[in-house]
Structure 1
Amino acid sequence: MEERYLSVTALTKYIKKKFDVDQHLNHIWLKGEISNFKHHSRGHMYMTIKDDNASIRAVMFQRQNQSLPFTPENGMKILLTGHVSVFEIQGQYQLYIQDMQPDGIGALHLAFEQLKEKLFKEGLFDKVHKKDLPKYPSQIAVLTSPTGAAIRDILTTLERRYPIAHILIIPVLVQGKQATKSIVDGIISANQFSEIDLIIVGRGGGSLEELWCFNEEEVARAIFQSELPVISAVGHETDITISDMVADVRAPTPTAAAELAVPSKLDLIEKIINLDQFIYKHMIHKIEQYEERLSSIEKSYVFKYPERLVEEKEQRLDRAMEHITKHMDNLITSKTVNYHNIEKRFSFVLTTTQIKHKEEKVSQLMNRLHRASTQHIDNKKNAFSKKLSQLDLLNPTRIMSRGYSITYKKDRSIIKSIENLRKKDAIVVRLTDGHAECTIDHIRKEDQNERKK
């Protein structure tokens, strides 16, 4: 009686043999969706293939999957070929996958290439149309899903790099049939805000189907027609969409888009510090230059004896006035011109009335010359007086007359700080009416509070 009963192993082997000899199960074409995907450390891929009403376990060994041009993901719709058999240890039938490709990928790729070629011929990808990004944007519009990881990455990066920028989040759909219109409307709305300087549009990674709204012609033309510069950040670094090609700047990830949109506050701080140091050094250099000029002027002969310069100018003025007077006398005596020579030169005889008329004209010209020369001399005198006043302002004796003095060492170098002094040093104190020779007995440095008092 016991001989009638089969073991579990025997039954399982029998069922497996039935599966293996069935021609309908040895080579099948299957369409479904991936779930419970697992990529084993040994390279094998385990998953479940399902549709709306059923599911089947599946495995794709490393020797078959190592040539796949893509990485399977949960939720991806696929087309596959393989065979069905039984896994004896668990007594479970499963699908052994030989080849696999995303469902509809051929049609999507064809549509992508066709639109890419069309827009390329129209010039939508030309660099000449690319707008420059603002260096320091004050307001940035971000078009993405308000609940996705992309918005968190963008906001975190912007806050870290450039916290003074104001962010306007325009929620849009980034997947599905309604996503195209939502993105187009978002771009149009962002352009209606006069305060916006820049637009970031994008989303996180996904399959080709999930990113397809960014390959739609309506979205591409909306980006191209945007008056504001647009950064496209769609998917991961390896994902390239039509939106990336049309946008003014393409970012490989949403985080990278935020980094491209704004400068780093650390770089700006460093730049400000460098500029501050440059300005400080430049001011010190200019002060030293002016001090050297003042020192050279103070040592010069003219600065020590300004009255010599005045005397020289007075002499030049006297000689100029003598020259003008002599020239005017020569013009007056020239009225005794030889009219006989004039008559020969112009071949006509001057009547007494004509001669008188010429004499009056010469007299008028002389008067005009006298007035002009007098005015010119007065102008020169006024200009000379102003120069003397300016020169007088630079006279150190005038400053010293108010109680100030200049302190020198024996080598004529000016003492500007107590750091230049030592006990027993011999110094000279220059006053308005002479100088005094002194010796340093005591040095005391004042702190900042004492100087304020």
Structure 2
Amino acid sequence: MENTKYLTVGALTKYLKYKFDQDPYLTRVFLKGELSNVKHHTSGHIFFALKDGSSVIRAIMFSRYANGMKFKPEEGQSVLIEGRVSIFESSGQYQIYAEKMEMDGIGLLFEQLEKDKKQLAEQGYFSKEHKKLLPKYPKTVTIVSSETGAAIKDMLTTLSRRYPLVEVTVINTLMQGTKSRQAVIDNLEHADALENDVVILARGGGSIEDLWTFNEKEVALKVFDMKTPVITGIGHETDTTLVDYISDMRAPTPTAAAEMAVPDQRDIMERLIQAQNFISDRIFRKLDVGRNQLDALSSYYKLKNPDLLYDQQAEKLVTLKDGLDDKMQQSIRERHYRLSALKEGVKYNTPEPAIRRSLEILDDRKSRLDRSMTIRTNESKHNLTRMVESLNSLSPTNVLLRGYSYTTGGGGIIKDAADLQPGDEVQTTFARGSIVSKVTEVNEDDRNQK
């Protein structure tokens, strides 16, 4: 059999490589796709695969090209690549040798997102100290979301089921598209002006393009400036947007955001029952302690025999009294000794001569004062006698003693017969005693008539 017509694997690979290298359509190729299996070698070379929805091609970028790149290639990035396609002889696989690489579309957005995230983090926007506390029992909740989405129904159901007392306001908002950024900013401002207790910013799942509004820096800064606490629930659990980093609370889903906003009425009831049981237990314990103390006191032997308490206190009183007497006697003795010492000191500076002279002056002045007082007293007695005689001459009693009387009735003295009517009762007072009489006839003095 003739073997000359059979090629070796190496010969075929060299031939194919030659064809690839000579083909003008393969020497300058422009590809777009998603990076996969990215490996950064210590030499500076980058090994990776480029894939789309149906195919994969191996790729390599040598360090001389990789060193000039403006970003670091990572898994999942969408990129645009310029290079040449050839065959690696050792493995016989064709691959693209990338010479230029740049972010494609959403990839550029991701690059900008990373810059914004880094900048905001360095400026402290993500710090916990800026996070506002959520009220434990909110009265009002505002939801900024689309009324047509399935997420809003789940949130309303969750809020009603967990905490029926809460009042919910829904602000219908465009959540994706070119006009969604300004719509979200405007409606967040409107929600903040309502001064409700909590604002929920939420939308259901979607592609990264659908959720990109919430990666906009302007939207994140608006969330930061909100006076009302904001809970974000954007997309699914694996989706994390820029507003999630800056909001006061991040929920993995819109439904979870509703759960974070309000307490569960079942938990509240359970805590109330626990509190009631705790209070009842403390009361019963207190009663048991008081009952035990009462039993102990009622069986105390001194209470059964009160004389023992009196005897002890009486004995204690005697002891205290004796101690007080001893201290008083001791104090008196000490003061007596001090007084004796003072007397001894006074003898050398006695004021006795001055006192005798003062006593003589005092006796003289006392004698003159006694004489003056006697004269003044006699004069006062004489004046008093004259005044008493004058008063006696005007006294109503003396008038009565001369045979006069006065009559009273109606609460006062009767001065005019015209003040009385037949049948009135009057009282007549004499010098000794009085009488009560009834008027039978009234005669008026003609002198009083005109």
Deviation at 1:300, TM superposition (A): 1.0
Change in 2 beyond 3 A, CA 1:109/1:337: same
Matched residue SS, 2:55: helix
Question: What's 1:229 paired with?
Answer: 229
The 2-side partners of 1:298 and 1:129 are apart by 63
TM-score, normalization by structure 1: 0.51
The 2-side partners of 1:221 and 1:125 are apart by 11
Instruction: Give runs of aligned pairs for residues 191-206 of structure 1, distance below 5 A.
Output: 191-194=192-195, 196-206=196-206
The 2-side partners of 1:351 and 1:200 are apart by 102
Change in 2 beyond 3 A, CA 1:343/1:226: farther
Deviation at 1:69, TM superposition (A): 5.6
Moved over 6 A (4+): 27-30, 339-345, 349-353
After superposition, give the CA deviation of every residue in 1:232-283 in whole Å (9 maximum; x if it has no partner). 1111222221111111221111011112222222222222222222222222
After superposition, give the CA deviation of every residue in 1:327-355 in whole Å (9 maximum; x if it has no partner). 3344334332257878999xxx87679xx
Deviation at 1:220, TM superposition (A): 0.8
Question: What's 2:241 paired with?
Answer: 241
Change in 2 beyond 3 A, CA 1:308/1:238: same
The 2-side partners of 1:62 and 1:110 are apart by 23
Question: What's 1:316 paired with?
Answer: 316
Change in 2 beyond 3 A, CA 1:325/1:61: closer
Change in 2 beyond 3 A, CA 1:335/1:244: closer
Change in 2 beyond 3 A, CA 1:299/1:328: same
The 1-side partners of 2:178 and 2:312 are apart by 96
Change in 2 beyond 3 A, CA 1:216/1:273: same
The 2-side partners of 1:181 and 1:63 are apart by 37
Matched residue SS, 1:131: coil
The 2-side partners of 1:247 and 1:105 are apart by 24
Instruction: Give runs of aligned pairs for residues 324-335 of structure 1, distance below 5 A.
Output: 324-335=324-335
Whether 2:55 is the aligned partner of 1:64: answer yes
Deviation at 1:166, TM superposition (A): 2.0
The 2-side partners of 1:65 and 1:133 are apart by 49
Question: What's 1:299 paired with?
Answer: 299
Question: What's 2:438 paired with?
Answer: none
Matched residue SS, 2:141: strand
The 2-side partners of 1:226 and 1:343 are apart by 92
Change in 2 beyond 3 A, CA 1:214/1:351: farther
Residue type matched to 1:227 in 2?
K
Deviation at 1:62, TM superposition (A): 7.8
Matched residue SS, 1:125: coil
Question: What's 2:133 paired with?
Answer: 132
Instruction: Give runs of aligned pairs for residues 14-413 of structure 1, distance below 5 A.
Output: 64=55, 104-194=105-195, 196-337=196-337
Change in 2 beyond 3 A, CA 1:192/1:314: farther
After superposition, give the CA deviation of every residue in 1:62-97 in whole Å (9 maximum; x if it has no partner). 85399x969xxxxxxxx9xxxxxxxxxxxxxxxxxx
TM-score, normalization by structure 2: 0.51
Q: Which runs of 5+ in 1 are unaligned?
A: 1-22, 31-59, 71-78, 80-101, 354-453
The 2-side partners of 1:172 and 1:261 are apart by 20
Change in 2 beyond 3 A, CA 1:222/1:350: farther
Change in 2 beyond 3 A, CA 1:203/1:331: same
Q: Which runs of 5+ in 2 are unaligned?
A: 1-24, 33-50, 58-74, 81-102, 353-450
The 2-side partners of 1:352 and 1:174 are apart by 114
The 1-side partners of 2:137 and 2:152 are apart by 21
The 1-side partners of 2:349 and 2:218 are apart by 97
Residue type matched to 1:64 in 2?
S
Matched residue SS, 2:219: helix
Deviation at 1:311, TM superposition (A): 3.6
* Aligned residues of 1:343 and 1:350 also touching (Cα < 8 A): no
The 2-side partners of 1:231 and 1:112 are apart by 21
Matched residue SS, 1:337: helix
Residue type matched to 1:217 in 2?
K
Give the aligned length: 272
Matched residue SS, 1:133: coil
Deviation at 1:129, TM superposition (A): 2.0
Matched residue SS, 1:208: coil
